[in-house]
Amino acid sequence: MPQHQVDVLKGAAHRKHPGVTNMKTLRLPEELQRAALSIVLGAQINGVPDQARSLTQFLWSRKRPVEASTLRQRAIGLERMVLQRAMERNEDIDNSHVKSKVLSELRKTTYHWTALRASHSCWGDTLKEMVCVDSSGPMNILAERLLNDDGEKAQPHIKQVHFRQFLPVSPQVQFDLVVGAFSLSELASKKEREETLVTLWRKTSSYLSQEMKTLDSRTPSVFAPCPHEMTCPKLAQHPPAPCNFNQHYHPLPLPGGPVRGRETFSYMILSRSDPSKAEPARDWVRVVAPVLRRPRHVHCHTCGLDGQLHHMVVTRAKHGRDLYRCARSSDWGDQLPIIQQEEADPE
């Protein structure tokens, strides 16, 4: 017999069920594309496309900055290895040579190191104020040029946008939504990252989109993507990696550029709303891997309300037509109505 059915569609088509969050291939708005192309093509720099590709590869390959304590431990281990090799070969031990070898190895293995448009596309002119913070002055100037269609006198496409070079610290003025996108990896140490998260959380009145932990007396609750408030089960796997999701997009139409791109990202949205006043939570799980559609059944890898990863095989006979069609129409990152625990095999 099919599993007991719950009305999750609410009149919607299966391919548009309430758990669908995955967006189709995105494209920049026409006015933003026009401004960006004007800036890029008008730049008096040779080899911009090649330099852009090199920068992209560098940004993808870099890692989070190494803490000083970790760096010292790594240096001590390398020093012991160099000394041991020298003794095995009966070589004279030269301290300057040992130091040089250690520094050389460290350099090989150690890396030092917008939500604006998305918000406007969702809420439009109902947004009263948007503050963008970037420590780089030239990046702020570039962002303003993009908003003004690359013209100093043109009206900005999105109004009430303010640019700042330093993060406001005072908690007196708060924002409904605070987003820290691709920012923590730019900070030099764990201490700086934690201090920045404290400041962002103090500026938050409703939702903070970022990876963080409890930082003050106002306890946050997980809004997305996790359906639970426990430790991420993927961090217990080897190699440890949190949930990540894909988004396809059309890049700028530059000569020789790709027609379609894909961005992989992780995110965390915390809410500071009062749990007692919140709407009843839906018993839905998150799809955390590509959905495998097979004849008469669908394989879904999900993260459940119990904080565990599960492999679910959804069929029409066992789970009913609606749930089967919903699963077949879902993609990586979407949500699905919960399936009885005994029918979902833990991974």
For 81, which DSSP code?
H
Distance CA 334, CA 245 (A): 10
Name the residue among 244, 346, 272, 264 with its Cα closest to residue 305. 346
Q: What is the pLDDT of residue 218?
A: 59
Q: Is 326 helix (H, G, I), strand (E, B) or coil?
A: helix
Percent of residues in the chain assigned helix, strand, coil, to nearest 5:
35, 20, 45
Distance CA 63, CA 339 (A): 38
Q: What is the pLDDT of residue 67?
A: 64
Q: What is the pLDDT of residue 3?
A: 45
Residue 9's identity, in one-letter code, is L
Close Cβ partners of 52 (under 8 Å, ≥ 6 residues apart): none
Question: Do the beta carbons of residue 341 and residue 306 sit within 8 Å?
Answer: yes
Q: What is the pLDDT of residue 111?
A: 42
Lay out the sheet containing 269-271: strands in order across: 175-179, 204-209, 269-271, 221-224
Cα dihedral 185, 191, 194, 200 sign: negative
Q: What is the pLDDT of residue 267?
A: 85
Ranges of residues in the chain whose predicted pLDDT is under 70: 1-8, 59-68, 71, 98-99, 101-115, 117, 150-154, 182, 210-219, 273-282, 338-347
Question: Do the beta carbons of residue 208 and residue 201 sit within 8 Å?
Answer: yes
How far CA 173 is from CA of 69, 126, 195, in Å, comes to 37, 18, 18
Q: What is the pLDDT of residue 4?
A: 42
Q: Please, which residues bridge with residue 287 across strands?
A: 302
Q: Please, which residues bridge with residue 261 across strands?
A: 249
Token readout for 94 is 């030269």
Q: What is the pLDDT of residue 288?
A: 92
Q: What is the pLDDT of residue 212?
A: 44
Residue 36 burial by CB count (10 A; 0-12/13-18/19+): exposed, middle or buried? Answer: middle
Question: Do the beta carbons of residue 304 and residue 230 sit within 8 Å?
Answer: no
Token readout for 178 is 């605070």
Token readout for 236 is 């217990």
Token readout for 269 is 């949205």
